[in-house]
Structure formats: C-alpha cells, structure tokens
Amino acid sequence: MEKKKNSEPSSTLSLADRIYKSTKWGMIQAPGSVQEKFALMKSLGYDGMELESPIGLDAQEVRAASDATGMPVHGVVDMKHWDVRLSDPDPKVRETGQAILKECLIESASFGGNSVLLVPGLVEGEMETHDHVWKRSIEQIRKVLPTASRLGVRILIENVWNGFCTTPEELRDYLDEIDSPWVGSYFDIGNVQKLSPAAEWIAILGKRIVKIDVKDWGVEAGFCKIGEGDVDWPAVRTALRKIRFTGWSTAEVEGGGKERLADIAARMDRVLEL
C-alpha cells in the first residue's frame, strides 16, 4: 500500500510542536540542587537542558534529576574549544583538543545527551588562517567520528565570531567536506546577524541544521534581550518552516534567577511562536 504523503505546506507548519526549548546550564543562577534546578526550569516552561563539558557533575545525579522531572539533557557544550583549539598551530595542542572533544562526547552520552556543541577553531594571524582552521579541524574531527557513531552523539558546529565560515555557503561546504551523518550545524541565530540575515543562512544550510541557539543582536544594541535586536524573527520562522526544522532551541543570553529565566522563556515563545 502506498503511504500517504504529508501534503501540509511548509509555510503553514506550526513550530510549537516542532521546536523544544532549553537554556545553557550556566545561565541558571537560582540556588538549589541539580534536581531542584531541573524542576525550576520545567516549571518555567522549558523542555530540557543543555549542560557544559567538562562540568564536574555526577552523571547518575543528572540522570536521576532528568528522570524525576522529565527534563532530558539534550547535549553539552565543549567548554575547552577556545583555549585548546583544533586549529592550533601546535599539533600537540590539536591532539589534546581532539581528546577533549572525545571526552565531551562520552560525557554527553553519560547524561543522556545526543550532541556536543563545537567551535572548530579561530582565524588568527598567519599561523592560523581560514585554510588552517578548515583542514586542521576536519582532520581532528574525523578522528573522533567512530566514538560519535558508537555513542550516538553528534558533533555540531556553531557559527561564532571567530573569522571562520563567515558566509552560509562556506559553512555549508565545510560540513559537506566532512561528509558525515555525525556532524552538523548548531546554528546560532543572533551570531550571524552581524554578517547577513539569519533566514538566508537557514535556507542555504537547510537540513544540515540540527539544533539552534537563540539570541538577538543589533547594530545599536549589540547582544541584547531576545526580540529587541535586529533579527527578523518572522523571516526566521518562515525559513525554519520551509526546511521543516524540528529540534532543540537553546537560549544563549545573560542568565539570572527565576524571574529572568521566565522572561527568557516568554521571549523564546514569542519570537519563535512556540
């Protein structure tokens, strides 16, 4: 029997049941145990958490908190990728960065996560050019792909102000050169605003986008509260619908206590129509 195709136009898709809401762990400045913080975030309308690695939390405690609250850990951020870069001129440093990335994959899996956010390098002078970052980072990322596939944890490249892949076409081609189902885009909406409209990036990156970071930026405001910068959020929503995006959205803004975290959740709901 032929399966009935989903004929729903992408322009009419609701994002409310396709996008899940999260924050970075470091944004939670309210007191309490791991489980109490998970419970707080759930009460504020978040769907899950993104942790840091290395973080020093007990995996069993995190798992217990997740089970008790129904709040999954969807992934971790490699917190060493700036200091121990995969693009460093020193091959020993690159190897160390690769080992750290591998440990991040393992830690993400131990928490129940399925991704590691990675900045692949920094364009900085003659010893660390765009070409260097491209080739060196790919070499190191490929070394950990067996671990990523074994654990079921993806390496997701975040676009940041590091001088690397400053156009959507460059990032598309970088990901395509790696050519692995275990590597994709962790697309940061606010970070690209300084370069070109986020909707254009979304259209070009398409299915390569696995998760999104949510922040805002403006020429006059700089990084600011979500919804108060220059990001064209209606265009972003349309672009996400067209590529039929479904997955995690994680706020990456200044955190705070309960009131501030509630405001962030409300702003995410508003700009993404969640």
What is the C-alpha to C-alpha distance for residues 90 and 70, in angstroms, rounded to an integer?
44
CATH class of 14-272: alpha beta
pTM metric for this prediction: 0.95
- Closest to 272 (Cα-Cα) out of 8, 17, 9, 6: 17
**268: nearest Cα among 218, 213, 195:** 213
Q: Domains of the chain: which residue ranges?
A: 14-272
Q: What is the pLDDT of residue 1?
A: 47
Q: Strand runs (DSSP E) across 97-190, as ranges?
A: 115-118, 154-158, 183-188
Q: What is the pLDDT of residues 179-235, one digit of tens each?
A: 999 999 999 999 999 999 999 999 999 999 999 999 999 999 999 999 999 999 999
In the DSSP assignment, the letter for residue 84 is S
Do residues 178 and 172 lie in contact, with contact meaning Cβ atoms separated by under 8 Å?
no
What does the pLDDT read at residue 13?
A: 81
- The residues near 260 (Cβ < 8 Å, ≥ 6 apart) are 29, 254
What is the per-residue pLDDT for 11?
63
Positions of the chain with pLDDT lower than 50, given as ranges: 1, 3
CA torsion 14-15-18-23 (nearest 10°) is: -160
Report pLDDT for 8: 63
